[in-house]
Structure 1
Amino acid sequence: MSGSTFTSVTSVTAVTSVPSPVAAERRSPGRDPWLEPSRAARELGLERHEFDLAVRLGRIRTRPVGGGDGGRAVARTEIARLRARPGFPEALRACVETVGTARGAALMKVTEDRFTRLARLGLLVPVRFTLGPHGAVDWLYLAEELRAFAAAEENAELLTGRPSGALGTPLDPDLDVRPRNWRNRHLGCLLRLADGDPWGRAGAVASLLDPLQVAEVVKDPYERSRLNAHRAAPPAGGASGPSAVRLARELTTAQDEDETAWLRAELTGLVAQAREHRPAPGPTPRSSRAVCTGTPERDRPLGGLRALLGRRWCRSRRPIGDR
C-alpha cells in the first residue's frame, strides 16, 4: 500500500466473472437463479454500500445483466457459497468495513495528523470517498488494510518513531496523492468488473480521462460511442447537486501529466485489441441496405429521399414519384 504506482492494464485479470450455476442446484419453476443487487445484499446481511464495495473489490462475484447497462446480478450459488463460509456474516462485513481519518487514526493508535500525513504521502490508500458540504472530501479506508499496516514490523517507525523526513517537515499544500491513488485503485475495480470484455476494459480506462483526451486518442466516432457505452459514471460520493457532480468528476479524472500520458497509452493499446476482437459498428454500406421490393435502389425515383424517409418508404404501396 505504498505510494501510487502504475501497472499495465493488460496485467489486471478479471476475477468477478461468474461460472455457470452448478448442475447440482435444482430450482423450482419460476425461481430465478440470479438475484438483483438489493435482494442479494439483504440475503448477505449487508448494507447496500457495503455490498457495492464488496462487488468492486471482487469479494462477491457477479455478472452484468441487461446487455451491460442494467447493473449486475448475483447467482444464488454465490450467495450459498458466501453464507457457508466460516464467520458469516461478521467476516464478510469486516472485509468491507471502512473508516475515516478519526477512526482510522484510533485503530492504528496514531494521531490524526500523522494518519493524514501517511495518507497524503501515499502510504495509506483510500477505497472510497464521500462529499461533504462546501466541497469537503472525506476519504475512507479499509479497516482491515489499516490493521495490517499497523501490524507490519517494517512500519513501526512510521507509527511510533519521531517524525522525520517527509513526515517531519511541513507538507506542501499541493502534495496529496490520495485522489490519484484512489483513481488507480478505482481503475483496478473497473477492470475486474469488465469481465474480460475488450471494449469494457478500454471503457474502464476511458472513464478516468477527460472526454477531450479520449477524442484525441480515439478518432473514430463509432469507436468512441462504443467506449461511452462502457464508461463508468463518477461515484456520487453521497452528495447531490451540480457542485458535487463537478467535484466527483474532478476526483475521477486524471490530473497529472504523467498519469494522463499513461492512461492515454493504455487506452490506445486496449482500443487496438478491442478493434481486433470486435470492431465497433460503423455506418451501413449503401450497397447492403435492405430494399422493400426487387427493384434496384438506383432505379427507384427519389432514391436519395428514400434514405431519409427510412421506414416510411417501406410502408408505401408505390414509389413516391408515382403520386
Structure 2
Amino acid sequence: MTVDQGARTVTPGRAAQELELRRDEFRLAVQLGLVRTVPAGEGERRRVEQRELDRLRAAPDFPDGLRERVRAVGTGEAAALLGITADRFTRLARTGHVSPVRFSLNRYRAVVWLYLAHEVAEFGLSCPALLAGRLPLEVRERLAAHEDLRARNWRARRLALLLRGAEDPWARAAVIASLLDPVQVAEVVDDPYERTHLDRLRPPPPPGMPMAPVAREIAERLTRADDPDDILWHRVSLAMALDEARAERQAPHPGDVRVPEVRVRAETVQVVRVPAVPVPVVPVRTPPVPEASVPGPSVSLGAPGAVPEAWSAVIDRPPGRPARARFLERFRRGKGVGAGRPRQRRRPVAWP
C-alpha cells in the first residue's frame, strides 16, 4: 500500500474514539480489514489516516453498522441468536460449520472461542436444517471421532488476513512458517540464514495473548498446526512460497553487503596540488649530564665509546699511548705487576 507522506494520521487509540469503537473492537476491525492502517516507521505502531476515518464516518449506517460487523459473541450468545442450545452450537462449531474469529483464556485456563455475530446469523439463514432435529450421520460420526476444527479454522482465517496484508514474498513465507513448529520449519527450510530471515519477518502474535507462562503456552499451541493433514498442507505451502521468494531475491547472508565500485573516467580526473606546509622544528632539550665522582678535572663523556681525558690522568696513562704498550715497557724494566712493592695480603672484596 502506498503511503502518502503528507497525509495526516492518528494513533489507534484516537481512531477508536472517532469511530466510537472499543479497543478490542477496533483491533478486530483492523484484523478483518474493515479499517485500513498505514506504517508509521520501523519499530512503531501502525496509524490510521484521517481520510480513512472520514470514509468510514461517511457511511449511512455509521456507527451502528461498523459496530455490528465487529461484534464478537461467545457460545451462549451465539446459541441464543440461532435459537438453539449451547451444546448444539458447540457441536456445530467443532465440526467446522461456524469458524471462530478470536479466542481468550478464562481464569480456569479454558479456551473461550468468540464468533462474529453477523456470521452466526448468516449460518442460521443458510443452514436451517442443522438447527432442529437430529444431526446428520456424518456430523455425528465426526463428533464420535473427537474432531474439533475450531482452532484449525481460526488459524486459516488468520492466515488469510495476514497474507492479504503481506506484500513481500519473504513476508508471506514468514506468515506461513509462523503456523508451523520450529522443527517442521527446519525440515522445509534447510538454510539457517533463510530461517533467520523468516524469523525476523514473523508476524506479531494475535492481540490478547496472555502474559502468564502456562496460559501463554496454551495459547501458543493454538497458533500452530497440530493435525497431520494441516501440517502437511502448510509445509507444502511454505515450500511453494519459498520458491517464489527465492526467485525474486535471495535471503541476506553474511558478507552480502558490498560497497559499490565507483569508476571515474581518466579525462575527468584533475590533479590538485596541495602547497607544502612547513613543519616547525622544535628544539629538544637534553638534560645535563652529572659530573663523575672522580678527583681531578670534570669529566666530559664526549662521543660514545671514547675514553674521557680525566680518566687517563687517574690511571696515569700518557695521552696518545696505548695501555698495552706501557704495560710491556714497564714489564721489561722489571716493574711488572707487583715489582718493587711489598707483598700485601689480598683483602676480600666487599660487594655493594
Question: TM over 0.5, yes or no?
Answer: yes
Given the alignment, which residue of 87, 96, 107 partners 1:122? 96
Moved more, 259-268 or 171-180: 171-180
Contact kept, 8 Å, 1:114 with 1:167, in 2: the verdict is: no
Alignment partner, residue 84 of structure 1: 58
Q: Partners in 1 of 2:244 and 2:134 — Cα distance?
A: 51
- Listed one character per residue, the Cα deviations across residues 183-235 of structure 1 (whole Å, up to 9, x for unaligned) are 111111111221x2212111111110111211221122222222112212333
Contact kept, 8 Å, 1:130 with 1:237, in 2: the verdict is: yes
RMSD (CA atoms): 2.3
SS for the counterpart of 1:135 is coil
Alignment partner, residue 207 of structure 1: 178
**Residues 1:192 and 2:164 are matched in the alignment:** yes
Q: Partners in 1 of 2:211 and 2:125 — Cα distance?
A: 38
Given the alignment, which residue of 132, 139, 150 partners 1:160? 132
**Shift in alpha-carbon separation, 1:170–1:75, aligned structure 2, 3 A:** closer
Structure 1: gaps (5+ residues): 1-16, 22-26, 291-323
Alignment partner, residue 308 of structure 1: none
Alignment partner, residue 122 of structure 2: 148
Q: Partners in 1 of 2:145 and 2:135 — Cα distance?
A: 18
Structure 2: gaps (5+ residues): 261-352
> Superposition pairs for residues 62-77 of structure 1, below 5 Å?
62-67=37-42, 69-77=43-51
The letter for the 2-side match of 1:185 is: R
Which structure has more relative contact order (CA 8 Å, sep 6+)? It is: 1
Q: Partners in 2 of 1:236 and 1:112 — Cα distance?
A: 26
Q: Which has the higher helix share?
A: 1
Alignment partner, residue 35 of structure 1: 10
**Shift in alpha-carbon separation, 1:221–1:233, aligned structure 2, 3 A:** same
Given the alignment, which residue of 216, 224, 229 partners 1:253? 224
- Counting aligned pairs with the same residue, the percent is 47
Contact kept, 8 Å, 2:95 with 2:143, in 1: the verdict is: no
Alignment partner, residue 176 of structure 1: 148
Given the alignment, which residue of 185, 193, 204 partners 1:222? 193
Q: Partners in 1 of 2:32 and 2:207 — Cα distance?
A: 18
Contact kept, 8 Å, 1:127 with 1:140, in 2: the verdict is: yes
Contact kept, 8 Å, 2:10 with 2:49, in 1: the verdict is: yes
**Shift in alpha-carbon separation, 1:38–1:162, aligned structure 2, 3 A:** same
SS for the counterpart of 2:143 is coil
**Shift in alpha-carbon separation, 1:220–1:65, aligned structure 2, 3 A:** farther
SS for the counterpart of 2:108 is helix
**Residues 1:265 and 2:265 are matched in the alignment:** no
Q: How far 1:267 sits from its partner (Å)?
A: 0.9
Structure 2 length normalisation: TM-score?
0.68
Larger radius of gyration: 2
Structure 1 length normalisation: TM-score?
0.74
Given the alignment, which residue of 217, 231, 243 partners 2:214? 243
Alignment partner, residue 56 of structure 1: 31
Alignment partner, residue 284 of structure 1: 255
Contact kept, 8 Å, 2:3 with 2:38, in 1: the verdict is: no
Q: How far 1:45 sits from its partner (Å)?
A: 1.2
**Shift in alpha-carbon separation, 1:135–1:276, aligned structure 2, 3 A:** same
The letter for the 2-side match of 1:111 is: T
Q: Partners in 2 of 1:283 and 1:19 — Cα distance?
A: 31
Q: How far 1:173 sits from its partner (Å)?
A: 7.0
**Shift in alpha-carbon separation, 1:121–1:224, aligned structure 2, 3 A:** same
Q: Partners in 1 of 2:150 and 2:165 — Cα distance?
A: 23
Contact kept, 8 Å, 1:236 with 1:248, in 2: the verdict is: no
**Residues 1:47 and 2:19 are matched in the alignment:** no
SS for the counterpart of 1:122 is coil
Contact kept, 8 Å, 1:65 with 1:72, in 2: the verdict is: yes
Aligned positions, number: 260
**Shift in alpha-carbon separation, 1:140–1:176, aligned structure 2, 3 A:** same
> Superposition pairs for residues 1-16 of structure 1, below 5 Å?
none
Alignment partner, residue 13 of structure 1: none
**Residues 1:275 and 2:250 are matched in the alignment:** no
The letter for the 1-side match of 2:117 is: A
- Listed one character per residue, the Cα deviations across residues 248-280 of structure 1 (whole Å, up to 9, x for unaligned) are 110000001111111111111112212222322
SS for the counterpart of 1:134 is coil
